Amino acid sequence: HVVGFALSTLGFGLTVMVIYLNCWSIYSHGPGTYMQSGLWNICVRNASTERGEVCRQFYTALSQPRFFQVVRALMLMAVAVGAIALFVSTLGTACARRFSEHASTKTKLTCAGGTLWLLTVLCSRVVCSSFGVSLVTEFPGWLRVSPTSPGGGVGGLSSFGELQTLYTRFSFGAALYTGWLAGAFIVIGGALM
């Protein structure tokens, strides 16, 4: 049970980290220019400018496509369910003194914690996988480089004079791989509990 708890907790920590990473998708255009997108903002680095990396938040949640809003909501839901799973699992571990005289209660708490961990991984794994599928199969128009758009560039960034409007195919970022790894830890940990 302790190994399962430790793996699930590690996976939960990685899931929380994934939400804040800016590298869900990456696009590289030449040797000095790349663009990374996260759930909350987009960052662009152009070696030919003095500004280095520039990050801007997505201005409004409602201006993003529904798919993107669902991705955000499911990841936040995964963290909320994971926090509850962490609490319930902590009460069910053999180390916890609470309910120590009631072995059946501890067993029920451990099973409930394991089930909640599996629900957590369902939310986060579906999100990471569907986001990855959308990167492979679709050209996300919501992440397009357009120096002529209102505000200039990506999310108001105007340092892309040499780039024309590109509907690009982004590649997987480190956040997706981290999300998949977190899901594997939670599945193994939840199953062991």
What domains are defined for the chain? 2-192 (1.20.140.150)
pLDDT at 161 over 70: no
Residue in 5, 49, 35 with CA at minimum distance from that of residue 140 = 35
Residues 26-45, mean pLDDT to the nearest whole number? 79
Q: Which residues contact 154 (CB under 8 A, 6 or more apart)?
A: 35, 42, 44, 56, 143, 144, 145, 146, 160
**pTM assigned to the model:** 0.75
Residue 46 — pLDDT band, cuts 50, 70, 90? confident
pLDDT at 159 over 60: no
pLDDT at 78 over 50: yes
Which has the minimum average pLDDT: 3-17, 100-114, 175-189? 100-114
Which has the minimum average pLDDT: 86-90, 135-139, 148-152, 176-180? 148-152
Spatial contact of 12 and 1, defined as CB atoms under 8 Å apart: no
Distances (CA, A) of 99 to 88, 157, 193: 12, 56, 17
Residue in 36, 4, 58 with CA at minimum distance from that of residue 187 = 4
Polymer length of the chain: 193
Q: Mean pLDDT: which of 93-107, 146-160, 161-175 is highest? A: 93-107
The secondary element (H helix, E strand) that includes residue 179 is helix 174-192
Sign of CA dihedral 160, 28, 171, 55: negative
